[in-house]
């Protein structure tokens, strides 16, 4: 397509930036190639919500004018990208992955879209997602206006939710990077299942102005990329204060991995049971090798665990109460019945009946979680565990009936880190770390680790992630597209 070899579509942001600076390729040539690829292959994975080819080529032409005059705005200048379809793009449909909103159009760009535009990134398309980012709870991958997100490593498996299109598009080389969102797992899951690198920033670090709300107190927006380095470059462009988002932290982010502590100075907390007990049997060999790589990095490993608290119940109650309040007009109008997943419809309706007492109880538990993690991070700099304990689900499988590991470990270790980290608003980095050992040819699927840190410790996480990726090549592996 447009003169690019297949392997080139999997180049990193940094690699494309170097080629643009060296005038080896123009921004227009790059945009044409990626727009054509996204339009041709996006539907194969149910990843494409809306192509933005005309917009992209106009932007790329302007960028080439800047490059000609040696005007460099950022490391993202001239780099194609996609955004999850819960972010508004002025004058164009923003469907939130749901039939009731299929014709919805906003007058302004989301702040993240504006920031990417200011950085010179070239938006080539909006990417599919689970309807309403999973609000109400969904049982099947097919809970989307665009169909189930299909995994580029095996089309019979899910790409993960709710940022399914973002995960698929980066994994298949349809965009060099994409923007997703996470309330409870929606960046880390597709990154883990699709074998790419995802960053969930600290709550409030990236503006949510112009983004669909699911949970006012838990929603976060972040990048899905090919590497930890790319995640840092993208976060630098999209983080920062925004008066349009009352929850904005007011902090900017400067990506400076060279100033971060070296791996041998890091204290990394882990729970052995996560890798040997909670991990699915097919995933354990890869996790063991990944853990061995951590040791090779020279980090100081410290055994730890989370105190017993109802992490999942608290997270579920908060998301249910806030999500149903947000979508009350949809529920009261009856249009909620147009959603694809019956369980999700029932969950949204039930959320309206959640009492203030139960919501406040969940918020009090959340405070205990924040205090517990604050105490835990007095002794460690990073927590590490499997990002997901096994590979991607099959497309037809119910997501709420995944067989539990047997025997169930008595020690919970860090198995609740997903719920706990999101309740506390902590940053997390998802790193590909190998493949599952499934019976039969072509059945191996990606696996990943997660690094979780203190609030606003993204540079520490990213530098540790870069050190891990210097010693491994899992992030460079690509599916046959």
Cis preceding linkage at 161, omega within 30? no
Residue 294's contacts (CB-CB under 8 Å, 6 or more residues apart) are: 268, 270, 301, 384, 468
Identify whether 385 is a catalytic site residue.
no
Q: Where are the alpha helices (DSSP H) in 93-183?
A: 111-118, 164-171
The one catalytic residue in 12, 186, 227, 457 is: 186
Identify whether 355 is a catalytic site residue.
no
CA distance linking residue 99 with residue 334, whole number of Å = 13
Q: Where are the alpha helices (DSSP H) in 22-110?
A: 27-41, 53-68
Hey, is 265 helix, strand or coil? Answer: helix
Residue 140's contacts (CB-CB under 8 Å, 6 or more residues apart) are: 148, 341, 396, 398, 399
Residue 5 near residue 480, CB atoms below 8 Å: no
CA distance linking residue 165 with residue 180, whole number of Å = 9
Token readout for 190 is: 């597709």
H or E, element range at 382: strand 382-386
CA distance linking residue 248 with residue 204, whole number of Å = 4
CA distance linking residue 145 with residue 157, whole number of Å = 18
Residue 114 near residue 318, CB atoms below 8 Å: no
CA distance linking residue 64 with residue 469, whole number of Å = 32
The one catalytic residue in 32, 59, 84, 126 is: 84
Among the listed residues 430, 439, 435, the one whose alpha carbon sits nearest the alpha carbon of residue 447: 435
The one catalytic residue in 162, 215, 282, 415 is: 162
Residue 83, Ramachandran bin (φ over 0: left; ψ between -120 and 50: alpha; else beta): beta
DSSP string for 394-446: BTTS-GGGPPPPSSPPS--TTTTHHHHHHHTT--EEEEEEEE---SSTT---E
Residue 85 near residue 156, CB atoms below 8 Å: no
How many Cβ atoms from other residues are within 10 Å of residue 334's Cβ?
A: 9
* Residue given tokens 């017993």 in the structure block: 308
464: Cα within 13 Å, side-chain hemisphere:
32
CA distance linking residue 204 with residue 38, whole number of Å = 31
Identify whether 186 is a catalytic site residue.
yes
Cis preceding linkage at 205, omega within 30? no
What residues are annotated to the active site?
Answer: 84, 162, 186
């Amino acid at each position: 397509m447009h003169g690019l070899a297949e392997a080139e579509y999997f180049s990193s942001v940094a690699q494309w930036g170097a080629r643009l600076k060296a005038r080896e390729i123009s921004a227009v040539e790059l945009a044409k190639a990626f727009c054509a690829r996204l339009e041709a292959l996006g539907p194969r994975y149910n990843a494409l919500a809306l192509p933005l080819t005309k917009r992209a080529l106009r932007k790329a032409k302007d960028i080439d004018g800047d490059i000609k005059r040696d005007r460099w705005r950022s490391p993202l200048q001239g780099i194609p990208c996609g955004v999850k379809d819960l972010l508004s793009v002025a004058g164009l449909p923003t469907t939130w992955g749901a039939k009731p909103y299929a014709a919805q159009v906003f007058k302004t760009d989301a702040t993240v879209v504006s920031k990417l535009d200011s950085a010179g990134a070239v938006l080539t398309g909006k990417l599919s997602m689970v309807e309403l980012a999973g609000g109400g709870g969904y049982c099947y991958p097919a809970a989307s206006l665009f169909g189930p997100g299909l995994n580029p490593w095996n089309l019979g498996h899910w790409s993960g939710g709710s940022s399914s299109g973002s995960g698929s598009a980066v994994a298949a080389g349809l965009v060099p990077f994409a923007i997703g969102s996470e309330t409870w797992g929606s960046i880390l899951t597709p990154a883990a299942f699709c074998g790419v690198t995802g960053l969930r920033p600290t709550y409030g670090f990236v503006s949510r102005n112009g983004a669909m709300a699911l949970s006012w107190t838990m929603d976060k927006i972040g990048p899905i990329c090919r590497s930890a380095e790319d995640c840092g470059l993208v976060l630098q462009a999209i983080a920062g204060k925004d008066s349009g988002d009352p929850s904005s932290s007011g902090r900017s982010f400067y990506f400076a991995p060279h100033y971060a502590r070296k791996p041998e100075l890091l204290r990394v907390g882990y729970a052995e049971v996560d890798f040997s007990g909670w991990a699915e049997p097919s995933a354990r060999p890869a996790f063991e090798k990944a853990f061995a790589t951590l040791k090779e990095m020279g980090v100081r490993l410290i055994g730890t665990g989370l105190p017993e608290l109802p992490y999942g119940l608290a997270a579920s109650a908060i998301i249910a109460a806030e999500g149903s309040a947000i979508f009350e007009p949809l529920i009261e109008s009856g249009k909620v019945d147009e959603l694809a997943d019956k369980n999700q419809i029932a969950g949204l309706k039930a959320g309206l009946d959640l009492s203030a007492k139960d919501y406040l109880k969940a918020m009090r538990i959340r405070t205990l979680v924040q205090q517990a993690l604050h105490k835990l991070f007095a002794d460690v700099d990073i927590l590490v565990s499997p990002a997901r304990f096994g590979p991607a689900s099959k497309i037809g499988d119910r997501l709420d009936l995944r067989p539990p590991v047997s025997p169930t470990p008595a020690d919970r270790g860090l198995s609740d880190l997903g719920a706990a980290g999101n309740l506390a608003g902590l940053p997390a980095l998802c790193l590909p770390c190998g493949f599952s050992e499934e019976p039969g040819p072509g059945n191996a699927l990606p696996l990943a680790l997660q690094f979780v840190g203190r609030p606003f410790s993204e540079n520490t996480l990213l530098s540790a992630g870069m050190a891990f990726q210097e010693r491994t090549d899992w992030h460079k592996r690509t599916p046959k597209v």
